[in-house]
Structures are given as structure tokens and as C-alpha cells.
Structure 1
Amino acid sequence: MAVNVPGLVAVIVFYVLILATGIWASRKSKHEEKKCPGNKSEVAMVGGRNIGTLVGIFTTTATWVGGGFINGIAEIVYIPHRGLSWTQAPICYCFSLIFGGLFFAKPMRTKQYVTMMDPFQRKFGNTMSSLLFIPAVLGDIFWSASILAALGATITVILDIEAYWSIILSACVIIIYTLLGGLYSVAYTDAMQIVFIIVSLWLCVPFTIINPAVADIKYTMVNELYQSPWIGKIEVNQIGRWIDDLLYMTLGGIPWQVYFQRVLAASSVSQAQRTSYIAGISCFTLSFPSIIIGAVAVSTDWNQTSYGLPTPSERHKSNMILPIVLQYLCPVYISILGIGAISAAVMSSADSSLLSASSMFARNIYKTIIRKKAAEKEVIWVMRTTIVLFGAAATTLALLTDSIFGLWFLSSELVYAILFPQFVCVLFIPNTNAYGSAAGYAIGLTLRLLAGEPFFQIPPVIQYPGISFENDTYVQLFPFKTFTMVLSLLSIVVFSDLASFVFKRKLLPVRFDVFKITHETQEVSATPVEQIAINDRNNHKLEPDKSHM
């Protein structure tokens, strides 16, 4: 292959700029650590709760507007019989952030949690919080791996270099600046990356539209001259599946540490909510370039381009349609800007995922369970070590596994089925307990796995109404993801009440109360004076350990 040297140089320059920004931001992190020597881990994890509004908006937006977002939207618009009608990410991510700001940001930020796992640990204890940590951290690792793999494939299309070089280089840059500055480096590089995404993608759009091989996208929106109209269509039998995906992407996008890391880094509740609202609108707006590029791909006579026939769809390259359009319908210097935008989008999501996974492990597993007397410096080094380990795991998966997107989709569906109902209960339903949490976890996990997984061609054990057989695999048309989530939620409430009833009425001896909910009951029924003492004790437990400072 002939390497695209100008493009390669441009990408290297861009990576150097990102790394320099991350290193510069790490100096601000060090300055904040000196101001708060007793809370160094919180500075690394949530920026000392001092991230400004503008940077907060940029970093929250960039976390969602990743490589999967801009590539995936163009792909869905381009795919025959899908189109814009099935492109749910823009509206779902917008609603997800707005709902997060409306309902979840205030209780999380008011109680000054450091990670999303803190309320689980306080309410359900270490055992259940450790189990809930598993889908959360797997989702972050698989997400980082999937977008790194997508970046490798994209750079191969435009620069004609082996995918593994771009994957390894990107991962190394991400790990280095995340190690150095924690959330500050991630946030400030996100701000730079989102600006680059906006400018470069919008610069690409006019060149794709005016290419002689491209028909008027307003005409092909409803005309079947090239393939199915890019506006798309929702068949009657697909409505349940469409609604299921809409709810899954909207509500399932809330219980992620990458989002709450930004919420908890805000200087106030109002700032956290305002950041969420504006970031949601920004995500919707930033989907427009990808939508247009997908529409352009539908409207292109590929025989008039150097790509030729068969079309990308016929070559099963729909997932690479955005870089293909940039490569074959834009001038070289414009396609180079496009690959910079894709690289920026990937890095802005991957760094957030690695930091969130390592923050949860360092605080909620290592500090709280493994080594309760760990000093702040020790927690920081554990977080840095896990950034490297999780980054290495994501990179290895991106290099060696062809089913990363399938793994991520499955893990994110588990987040919806398991974590979202648990999150609702822990914040808004005070009578739930660890027994209900365990029941909801088991039921949500079991029902989701028994529903099958088309990506891995795993047939469903449970066949819901309206199941169909497409492309040699079963597809559930019934909204089973939301059905599973609702059953998991109801299970938490019912089994919590059942466990409380059994132990309160002494139908089972207290010695069988492995989750110690009878102790919680005693605390709830304490006198006002006793309750104040209990609250003081609980608050003291959540304060950082000062014995090693």
C-alpha cells in the first residue's frame, strides 16, 4: 500500500497537539492538588469539583460525541431500509442528558458523591456494589476497545496504513495524558477535540454535497433511484423494536460513570444541571454533519468515483461509509481534516471511559473494600495503574477481537437491564435493600441472556411475541430490553419489601440476615437525637482517611 504521507504527518501533528494540551492541563491538576492536599484522589477523579461551565459543556458533549456517534449515524442513514427514521442516537443522547440533568444530577451532586458507585455502596453494601461494578466497568472497557478498533479501520481507509499502528498510537497518547492530569487533562483535551470535530466535519460537508457524482439529497430523501430513500421507514411490525431501542438508548445512557464524573465535577448543582441540558442540545446539533454525509452516500453514483462498483453496501462496508465518503468525494486536504475529526471523537470518548473505570476501581473496590486505610497517594497510584491496565485491555481487544461492537452492545444492554433500575431505586425508592438489589440483578441478567444475541448468532431461549428470522438469525421484535428492565425494577422493590417483612416479623432469625438490613431498620426507627448521631457517624465514614496525610 502507498502510505498517504501528508495525511500521516497531519494526524501526527494533531496527536502532538492533543498530548501537549493534556500535559498543560496536568499542571492545573497539580496546582489544585496543592490547594487540597487531603483530597488528591478527588482532584484526579472529579477535578476538585472546580470544572468551569464552558469546559464542562465541552467535555460532557465530547464524551457522547465519539467515534461511534459520528460513524454510526452516517452508517444507519446509509443502510438500505434503515435510514434517518432509525437514526435514534441524536434524539436519544439529547434526551438522556436532559433527563440526567432533570432527575439525577441534583441528588448525586447534592450528596457530593465521587463516583456513580458511591450511592450503591452506601445503600446496598460492598457485596452488591462489587457485583454492580462489573457491568459498569465492562461497558467502559468494551466501549474504549470498540471505538479504537473503528478508528483503526477508518485510518486504514484514508491513510493506507495498517490499523494496528493507529490503534496503538491513539491508545498510548490517551493513556499518557489521562495518567498525567486525570479529569483536568481529559476535560481540557475534550474541549479542544470537540472544537476540532465541529470545524473539520462541517468543512467536509459542502465538498461532499457539490461533488459531481452526488445527486440532490433532497431528491433522494424519498426517491428510490439509488437505493431505499435515506429518510427511512418504520414498518408496523418494527414499532415495538423501535420504541425499545429508543428507551434503551435514552434511559440506558444515564447510569454511566463517564456522565456522572462530569456532573460531580461541577462546582454546584445548578451548574451540573445546566451543563447537562446544553450538552444534550449540543449532541443533537452535532449529529447533522454525519446525517448529511450518510445522505450523500445514498445519493452517490459510485461508478463515477474512483471507488467504483460494487457500492460500499454491496461490499459490506457500510460501517466505514463516513471515511469512504471523505476519501472519495472530498479533496485530499479535506479528507485529512475529516480523519482528524474522527480521531478527536475517538480520543474524547476513550479517555473518559478509561478514567471512569479506573476511578470506580480505585475508590469503590480498592479504597473501600481491599485496603480501607490506603492513603490518598496510594489511591492515586492505584488509579493510574488501572488506567494503564484497562487501556492495555481495551487496546488488546481492539487488535485481536472482531466482535467488539457486539460485546459493547451486550454490556450496554446489561447496564440498561441491571444498573438503571438499581440506580432509580437507590436514589428515589428509600425502602429498597440489598436483598431486592440481588434479586433484581439476577433476574435482569438472566432474562437478558436468555433473550439471545443476534450479533453472536446466539438463538434466544425465551422467544417473545413477534420474533422473526432475519439474515440467518432470530430477531426479537418485542420490546424485551425494556420489559427486562421493568421486571428487574419491580423485583428490587418486591423482594426488598419481602425481605424487610420476613426479618421485621422475625419469620427468620436475625442470624440469617446476611445483608444486615435489620440494623438499617433500627437506624430508621431511632429517635431524632439518635438519628443525628447516626447521620454524623455515616458522614464520618464517607470522609477521606486523614490518618496517612
Structure 2
Amino acid sequence: MSNTTWTIIAFVIYTGVMIAIGGVFYKKSSNLSDYFLGGRGLNAWVGALSAQASDMSGWLLMGLPGAIYLMGTGQVWIAVGLCLGTLLNWIFVASRLRRYTIKSGNSLTLPEYFENRFRDSSRILRTASAIFIIVFFAVYTASAFVAGGKLFAQVFGVDYQIALFISVMVILVYTFLGGFHAVCWTDLIQGIMMLVAILAVPIIALAAIGGIESVTGALPADFLNPFRENGADVSAISIISQLAWGLGYFGMPHILVRFMAIRSNKEIKRSRVIAMVWVVISLAFAAIVGIVGKVFVPDVPGDGETVFIQMIQKIFMGLGGEQAIVPVAFIGGLFLCGILAAIMSTADSQLLVTASSISDDIYKGLINKKASDDFLVKFSRVAVVVVAVVAYFIARDPESSVMNLVSNAWAGFGAAFGPLVLLSLFWRRTTRGGAAAGIIAGGLTVILWEYIPMIPMASGVATLSTATGLYSLVPGFALSLVCIVLFSFLTKKPSAEMLKEFDAVKNMAKSEE
């Protein structure tokens, strides 16, 4: 059989397993807690790998290696920021958020937690949060679809639009069926596949080239200098912007919901170790892929985001008429499934969290408060399809960059929700007015900074992002933080009930230490 046939077989087996898992959990997702949080029953391994696999997405195996492939290790500061952000999120947020969401009305979503935490009868927190989740996750999900489209187009040589449609349908089916349980268990498998693929491929490529010295000797000048980029010094603004990616973790709904779903705080401690090992290894080898790939496949076109795909093809299937280094096409197909795993593990989570906001926060919260769980689960499945269709249309441009789409959505969530998550957990003086001001200020700052041209330049009117070079998460996070503190002092102090609940959660944390 041909290499393509073996690759197709590998993809069919892999996607078949994912869809089967969705089918297994179809009847087990009978209420909202099951469909959105898996009944808060995740063990340490599933919680850790689900959180991190849903975090990294196709960005890990395509966006980051592509950025380093094009510009050198001056792009590695993003990985450093993400490692720090992951660690701080697991240490400071995970346990307390899980306790607080249970104590505060058994909240199932982040917007519901904000509403319950601040006793918001006006529904402004829940509504504003849900709107930003829908907007930014449409962009974020589109990034995963773009990655999937590029993968199928590169591997099977089909038109990007056809490849995109296949990618969307595969992800959609098992998310639609199984809900949170299916998403988390598939994420466990996908997290393992991602790790195996990103470890094995650069090591095999490095051996084929002739070792480390052969790579370093063939790289462009300053390529391995993290303070240089394309022949120039990396600016302080660039380093700050890349490190700031770590701030985004505190506001990521699809990661935070994993903390809420782990079955006990003891499991969270175990999950923290598993997650950090996975993250450090994965990010380090993603950078190595970009470095080794620069020599191993020197002619990757465009934005370089297919470098990992081309490395796998050259190793296992031959590339451009070359003889494969390891002529085992089925194994190569499985490694390519590792990229699909990275894409699917994030897209499914994004679809589910967005659907939860539409059904639980918008429909039940604002339209029909008496809606039954059975109806809302069905409604959520329809919402999954609707969100997927919207993201599909955003992703239809074959020139879309995975890195840029992820960057904008990441900034939006980090700025809108990150400061409020932290202050809601650790500052008892936070008020509803401060919370609302922080969400709106952070989310709108990112939109204005990234999308609205307002600065006259020689080349035309530019956005603040283009004009300053500063990542929108930095001003968005800072302004949100300032607004929460300022408006909290300007508005009425929290009620005795809110303070009592805050102290109870705080004391629960102390008793477990």
C-alpha cells in the first residue's frame, strides 16, 4: 500500500476511537453538571493532561515551532512565560477556584461563578462574561480549525476548504455527543500522543542530520541567541510581550473549568506535578522542532507553521521524492495524528465552554430560568454546532495564521477575566461594580488594541498593537486590574454574606495545608 493509504488508515483509526469515546459518554451526560463538568469527578491524570492538552492546541506543534523556524529563538520567551503562568495558575488558582465554585452555588461555568460570587441579581457579570467568551472563543476555535485545515491539506494534498471541512466535522461529532467527559478522556489520549510525537520526531531528525553540531553549524547567525531576532536585537517590548502570555492563564475558561472539575483538592496537588512535567517537556521540544527543522527541512513555505508536518513526512514517508529515513508510513500517520490531537484537544474544549455560556449563561440565565436540565443539554448540543459553524467561516481564509488568531483570543480572555479571577479569590474587598468594570475594560482594551486602526503612520492608519509592538494582553490586564480596584473602592462594600463566604473558603484552604 502507498504512504497516503497508510496515513489514511492511521487517521481513520484515531478519529474512530475519538468518536467512539464520544458515543460511550453520550448517555452518561444527562444533566448540565455531567455535560459541562463531568460531575466534578476527574482524577489527577485526566485533569492534568486535559487542562494542558486543551491549553496548547495546534499552536504547540505548529504556531510556536513555525515562529522559531522563521525568526529564531528570540521567540522562545513565549514558552518561558507560558511555563511560569502554568505553574502559578496551578499553585494559586486551581484549589481555591474549585472550592469557591462549589461553595458559591455549585457554579458550573466561569460567568455563573462571577454572578454567584458577587450576588449579582442584575446579571451584568454573567452576561458580559458570556458575550466575551462567545466572541473570543469564536476566534480561538477558528485557530484550531485553521490548523486542522493546514494539516489535512499538507498531508493529503487536498484543497484547503475541503481539508477545513473534514477537520471541523471530526471535532464536532464527538464533542456534540459526549460533552465534558468525552472531551477530557480524549484529551488524556491526545496529550499522550502530543508528547510522544514532539519527543520522537526532533530526536530522529537530529540523528539523521548527524547530531547537534551538524545543526548548530548550519543555522543562520544568531539563530540560537534568544536576545537576537532576524539579525537585530530583541527589544524589551518584545520580551515583555512574550513573557506576558503567562498572564493569560488566569483567565482561560477552558483551563479553569478543569480545575473546577477535578474530584478533590488532593488530586489537584498530583495534577500540578503531572501538568508541569508535561508542559516543560512539550514547550522545550516544540522549540527544538523549530530549531532542528530549520536545517532538516530548510524550505518550508509561508509562515513556517507546517515545519513539524514536513519533518514527519520526510522521516517516515519521504518528502519531495526523497527516500524516507524510517519507511514505516503507518507510524508516521500516527505521529501526524499527534498534531491532529493537539488541534482537537483545544477545539473541543472551546466549543464546549462556548456552548455552556450560550445555554447556561445566556438562555437559562436571561431567557428561561426554569429550563430543565434535559432541555439544556439538548440545547447545548445545538449550540456546539452553531459555534462550530461560526468558527468555520472565520477560518475559511487559507492565509490565516494560527499564531495570530491564538494570540488575539488569548489576550482577550487573559485581560477580561484574569485579574477578576485572581482578585475574586484573594481580595475580599472586591465588589460587583469592580468586577463588571474589570471585565468590560479588559475585553474592550484588547479589541481596540488589536482590531481598531487609530494611529496615523507613514504606511497608513495602524492599530495600537502595530504602532507600539506591545502585546494587547499587557495593557488589557493592567487596565482591568486598575478598574477592579478603583471601582471596588468607589462602590458599596461587599455584604456580610459575601465576606463570610470568602472567609469560609479561605479557612478551608488553610485547613488543608
Q: Distance in 2 between matches of 1:63 and 1:341?
A: 13
Shift of 1:92: 3.2
1:96 aligned to which of 80, 85, 90: 85
CA displacement at 1:260 relative to structure 2: 2.0
SS at match of 1:431: coil
Given the alignment, which residue of 32, 45, 54 partners 1:41? 32
Question: What letter matches 1:196 in structure 2?
Answer: M
Counterpart of 1:493 in structure 2 is 485
* Closer, same or farther: CA 387–210 of 1 in aligned 2, 3 Å: same
Between structure 1 and structure 2, the one with the greater Rg is 1
Equivalents in 2 of 1:160, 1:351: separation in Å?
25
Show the 5 A alignment for 1:127-138.
127-138=124-135
Which residue of the partner structure matches residue 331 of structure 1? 317
The residue number in structure 2 matching 1:444 is 442
Aligned-partner Cα distance in 2 for 1:175–1:480: 31
Shift of 1:317: 4.1
Task: Report the AA paired with residue 50 of structure 1.
Answer: G
Counterpart of 2:289 in structure 1 is: 293
Of the three residues 351, 368, 386, the one matched with 2:348 is 351
| Residue 431 (structure 1) aligns with | 429
Letter in 1 for 2:262: A
Find the residue that maps to 1:117 and give its secondary structure: helix
Query: What displacement does 1:354 show?
Result: 0.8
* One-letter code aligned to 1:8: I
TM-score, L = length of structure 2: 0.82
For residues 388 and 471 of structure 2, the distance between their equivalents in structure 1, rounded to whole angstroms, comes to 34
The answer to whether the 8 A contact 1:90-1:283 is kept is no
Matches within 5 A, 1:60-139: 60-80=51-71, 82-83=72-73, 85-111=74-100, 112=102, 113-122=107-116, 123=118, 124=120, 125-139=122-136
Return the match for 2:305 from 304, 319, 334.
319
> What's the secondary structure of 1:495's corresponding residue?
helix
Measured at CA, do residues 153 and 173 of structure 1 come closer, stay the same or move farther in structure 2, by a change above 3 Å? Answer: closer
The amino acid of 1:217's aligned partner reads I
Q: Does 1:217 align with 2:212?
A: yes
Residue identity opposite 1:432 in structure 2: T
Matched with 1:528 is none
Give the superposition deviation at 1:3.
9.5
How far residue 250 of structure 1 moved from its aligned partner, in angstroms, is 1.0
For the residues of structure 2 that align with 1:49 and 1:445, how far apart are their CA atoms? 29
- Give deviations 1:335-371, integer Å, cap 9, x for gaps: 4233211111111111111111112222222222211
> Structure 1's 120 and 499: CA in aligned 2 closer, same or farther, altered over 3 A?
same
Note if 1:269 corresponds to 2:265.
yes
Residues 477 and 171 of structure 1: CA distance in aligned 2, closer, same or farther (over 3 Å): closer
Whole-Å Cα distance in 1 between the matches of residues 151 and 135 of structure 2? 24
SS at match of 1:205: helix
Paired position in structure 2 for 1:504: none
In 2, the alpha carbon distance for the partners of 1:286 and 1:169 equals 27
C-alpha separation in 1, matches of 2:472 and 2:173: 41
The answer to whether the 8 Å contact 2:179/2:352 transfers is yes
Is residue 124–residue 436 contact of structure 2 (8 Å, CA) maintained in 1? Answer: no
Identity %: 21
Question: Match for residue 4 of structure 2?
Answer: 4
Structure number with greater CO (CA < 8 Å, separation at least 6) is: 2
Q: Contact between 1:452 and 1:460, CA under 8 Å: does it hold in 2?
A: no
Q: How does 1:378-417 map to 2 (within 5 A)?
A: 378-400=375-397, 402-403=399-400, 405=402, 406-417=404-415
Check whether the contact 1:435–1:499 (CA below 8 A) recurs between aligned residues. Answer: yes
Counterpart Cα distance in 1 of 2:24 and 2:417: 36
TM, length-normalised to structure 1 = 0.77
Q: Give the deviation of 1:438 after TM superposition.
A: 3.9
The structural deviation recorded for 1:475 is 4.6
CA RMSD of aligned residues (A): 3.1
User: Cα–Cα, structure 1 residues 482 and 200, in superposed 2: closer, same or farther, change >3 Å?
Assistant: closer
**Amino acid aligned to 1:23:** G
Asked if structure 1 preserves the Cα contact closer than 8 Å seen for 2:445 and 2:475, the reply is no
Closer/same/farther in 2, CA of residues 387 and 264 from structure 1, 3 Å limit: same
- Structure 1: 5+ residue stretches without partners: 34-39, 303-310, 464-468, 501-516, 526-530, 536-549
The number of residues matched between the two structures is: 472
Distance 1:289 1:97 in 2: 17
Q: Aligned-pair distance for 1:447?
A: 4.2
Q: Which moved more, 1:47-56 or 1:285-294?
A: 285-294
Question: How much has 1:135 moved relative to structure 2?
Answer: 2.3
Please state how far the C-alpha of 1:403 moved relative to its aligned partner: 4.1
- 2:511 is aligned to none
Contact 1:91 1:284 in 2 (8 A): no
> Do the aligned partners of residues 273 and 362 (structure 1) sit closer, same or farther apart at CA in structure 2, a change above 3 Å counting?
farther
SS of 1:51 mapped into structure 2: coil
Work out whether residues 73 and 291 of structure 1, in 8 Å CA contact, stay in contact via their aligned partners in 2.
yes
Partner Cα distance (1:317, 1:57) in 2: 31
Change (3 A) 1:160 1:269: same
The counterpart of 1:192, out of the listed 165, 184, 189, is: 189
Distance, in Å, in 1 between the alignment partners of 2:283 and 2:21 is 26
* Secondary structure of the structure 2 residue equivalent to 1:318: coil
Question: In the aligned structure 2, how far is the partner of 1:415 from the partner of 1:156?
Answer: 30
1:499–1:461: structure 2 CA closer, same or farther, 3 Å change rule? farther
> Is the 8 Å Cα contact of residues 59 and 187 (structure 1) preserved in structure 2?
yes
The 3 A distance-change label for structure 1 pair 288 and 107 is closer
Q: Work out the CA distance in 2 between the residues paired with 1:54 and 1:25.
A: 19
Deviations 1:405-461 (A, max 9, x none): 4444323222222221222233223333333334334543554455455xxxx6553
1:183 counterpart = 2:180? yes
Shift in CA distance, 276/257, structure 1 to aligned 2, threshold 3 Å: farther
